[in-house]
A = this chain, B = another copy of it.
């Protein structure tokens, strides 16, 4: 009987309802049925009496539940203790962010440091051209990326930031007069290209391929870093939608950030390589899950 089976058994023993048990454990109802059946086969006795109306524990099941509840609690405690020791071992997490987003995350990081003494976080820089490479190379433990992130080797954790978009334009751009920009305006200007290394779907979620009216949005020169983007914009060659956060702590000469009221909000989430999952990363993710996403 593997740990997963114990969890399913205990949850069902508590809920006495296959559907609710499945929901609680985020698995299908069929899975619960299969898992219980397998255990009953192995043990050689029914653990639950069930009709389509009622689910009840048999005497054997009742006894097993008491025993396994104790085992499960002890096991969780043991693992938690080991994890705590692991986190406390002084590993520092390197978290990749765009621009100055790390500043906004301070409440989260402070909470994390408070909860797990001995742990720490340092920030690294990421850019739009290769959003995942630092994760995959192991240089970063976690990246804060806008969603969606649909990479099979990456895990998407809790959302930590949410906010609208702004359009970066040159100071002399005609749109500056109007004071705001809309998605439709993009078709009349050239936007920066994130290059071939950035996944298409991901780049498109920042700058769509077409406007809401279906006009094609022209892509211009490739920019690797945030700085290069700003240079292209300042020179008047391009405009570029960016997360609202870019406008907060940047006041670059020759550039104006215009709000884009019709652009849907974007969400930034913690993301890490699934196989590099470890106690410190999970601890950070747990901490983040307890916070509401920071609203810009």
Contact = CB atoms under 8 A, between A and B. Distances in A.
A93 to B, nearest CB: 10
A278 to B, nearest CB: 4
Q: Number of copies of this chain in the oligomer?
A: 2
Contact of A78 (B67, B78, B278): B67
A278 B41 contact: yes
Interface residues of A, number: 37
A78 B89 contact: no
Contact of A64 (B44, B59, B78, B89): B78
Contacts of A43: 79, 82-83, 85-86, 278-279
Contact of A70 (B74, B82, B277): B74
A27 B54 CA distance: 43
Given A2-B2, A63-B85, A42 B78 contact: no
A60 interface: yes
A218 B86 CA distance: 71
Contacts of A150: none
Contact of A44 (B2, B87, B275): B87
A82 B43 CA distance: 7
A45 interface: yes
Contacts of A115: none
B82 A45 contact: yes
Contact of A2 (B3, B42, B82): B3
B2 A277 contact: no
Contacts of A26: none
Contacts of A178: none
7 contacts: A2-B4, A43-B82, A43-B85, A44-B89, A60-B82, A63-B81, A74-B74
Interface of A: 1-4, 41-45, 47, 59-60, 63-64, 67-68, 70-71, 74-75, 77-79, 81-83, 85-87, 89, 91, 275-280
10 A-B pairs with least C-beta separation: A44-B86, A44-B279, A67-B78, A45-B86, A44-B278, A60-B85, A64-B82, A43-B86, A2-B2, A71-B75
Given A43-B83, A60-B82, 12 more contacts: A2-B4, A41-B277, A44-B91, A45-B85, A45-B279, A60-B85, A63-B81, A64-B78, A64-B82, A67-B77, A67-B81, A71-B78
